Amino acid sequence: MGPLWLTNILISLMIVLALLYSLRNYILTRRLARTKFTNALVALTAIFLLQHMYAAYMFYMLSWSERAEIAYPLLMLNLLGLAGFSIFVYLSRA
């Protein structure tokens, strides 16, 4: 497993942690206000959580069969996703 694959896995797991934090906040908010919006936020966050857990698993599996040439473009996508979710988490704290 090369460093690019390991970086992809770590970034996906960082996004998972951020999503778990957001999911916790949304579930707490949902207890106070059961609206369509909070229900949708919980559902959307849960779907993204599953997506990134699966992505980390796929990066691990691909790391054993593919070369780093594939890992680099995936790393760029993952970094953009991390930036987006960082903004998402920052805004959800407000």
Q: What is the pLDDT of residue 50?
A: 94
Q: How many CB atoms lie within 10 A of CB 18?
A: 21
Report the domain count for the chain: 1
pLDDT of residue 89: 74
| Domain encompassing residue 34 | 3-93
Cα dihedral 30, 36, 42, 44, rounded to 10, equals -170
53 contacts: CB under 8 Å, gap ≥ 6: 12, 16
pLDDT score, position 84: 86
pLDDT digits (tens, 9 = 90+) for 27-85: 988 888 888 888 888 898 899 999 999 999 999 998 898 888 888 999 999 999 889 88
Residue 75 CB neighbours (<10 A): 18
pLDDT band at residue 87 using 50, 70 and 90 as cut-offs: confident
